[in-house]
Amino acid sequence: MSVIRIGSRESLLAVRQSELVMEAMRALCPGVELELVTMKTTGDKILDRTLDQVGGKGLFVRELDAALLEGRVDITVHSLKDLPMETHPELPVVAFPRRADPRDVLVLPEGAAELDRTKPIGCASRRRALQLERLFPGVEVRPVRGNVQTRLRKLDSGEYGALVLASAGLCRLGLEGRIARYFSTEEMLPAAGQGILAVQTRRDAPAWLESLNDPDARDCALAERAFVRVLDGGCSSPVAAYAVIEGEELLLTGMDETGRRQTIRGSRQEAEALGSRLGARIKEEKCHG
């Protein structure tokens, strides 16, 4: 393979994430020729409705999957939390690079020192909305769509009193200065895979790409996604999961659609099975409760 073509959404954040993976690829294989190929996905085009109204997270990967299958690109880079729980069988995720900060953050309008509770808090997921309603009782929570820059413009123009965004995205864009408050994972459980990138390829991809994998990120990703998969969680569900590696053990916290949380601990070698087990436990308790 003379030139490796990397497929990416065309937003500034998606491009920056792809560039991070490309930098890691060059470090692993000096002299490799890389080409970035950007495209607008269906999810980027439809901004007047929430994701659950227009078909879910798959809208962010459809065009990229097609480009991979047709050979127009050789790998694609995604925010893992944007990947559907079931991926195309011919397009394996070969690497999960090192995880960035998984926390959600509060962003205020430029120049503001505190939250204006008379204006809505903007967020793009039911997971955040459910938890925000408990953290800020009485404050309206309203959906907001668009890339990070679009959301910030809406915030600064006065449409919202605050936004809740992922720390990882803001920091990758060099916008950490906009962060007014970090939510602990106890306050706001992250989306499964938040802060983790996913490198997806065809089955004929170079084996060395697997060296981009970070073992901790991989095990957390497998556990979190297995939990959400069991509970049929997607973009229209507030189901969330967050795993932490502690030596050779993995501690997973899962949240169902009511906001109730449970944890499980076990060997990190059984990461995926732990996620499935916790999801099945919560599912069974709901059936009998």
Query: Using one digit for the tens of pLDDT, what is the confidence trace for 206-252?
Result: 889 999 999 999 999 999 999 999 997 554 578 999 999 999 999 99
The question of whether 82 is a catalytic residue gets the answer yes
191 belongs to a structural domain? no
Kindly name the residue from 44, 82, 101, 219 that is annotated as catalytic: 82
CATH number of the domain bearing residue 246: 3.30.160.40
- For residues 175 and 127, state if they share a domain: yes
- For residues 156 and 118, state if they share a domain: yes
Tokens of 25: 């690829």
Q: Are 119 and 160 in contact (CB under 8 A)?
A: yes
Q: Print the domain residue range for 159.
A: 104-182
The owner of tokens 């430029």 is 110
Tokens of 278: 């916790």
Q: Which residues pair with 76 in a beta bridge?
A: 7, 200
Of the candidates 168, 200, 231, 241, the residue with the CA atom closest to the CA atom of residue 61: 200
Q: Are 237 and 84 in contact (CB under 8 A)?
A: no
- For residues 1 and 87, state if they share a domain: yes
Which amino acid does the sequence have at 20?
L
83 belongs to a structural domain? yes
- For residues 78 and 32, state if they share a domain: yes
Q: Are 266 and 249 in contact (CB under 8 A)?
A: yes
d(CA 15, CA 151): 18
φ/ψ (deg, to 5) at 59: -65, -20
167 belongs to a structural domain? yes
pLDDT in tens, the chain (289 residues): 589 999 999 999 999 999 999 999 999 999 999 999 999 765 454 444 444 544 445 566 889 999 999 999 999 999 999 899 888 999 999 999 999 999 999 999 999 999 999 999 999 899 999 999 999 999 999 999 889 999 999 999 999 999 999 999 999 999 999 999 999 999 999 999 999 999 999 998 888 999 999 999 999 999 999 999 999 755 457 899 999 999 999 999 999 999 999 999 999 999 999 999 999 999 888 776 6
Q: Which residues pair with 137 in a beta bridge?
A: none
Number of domains in the chain: 3
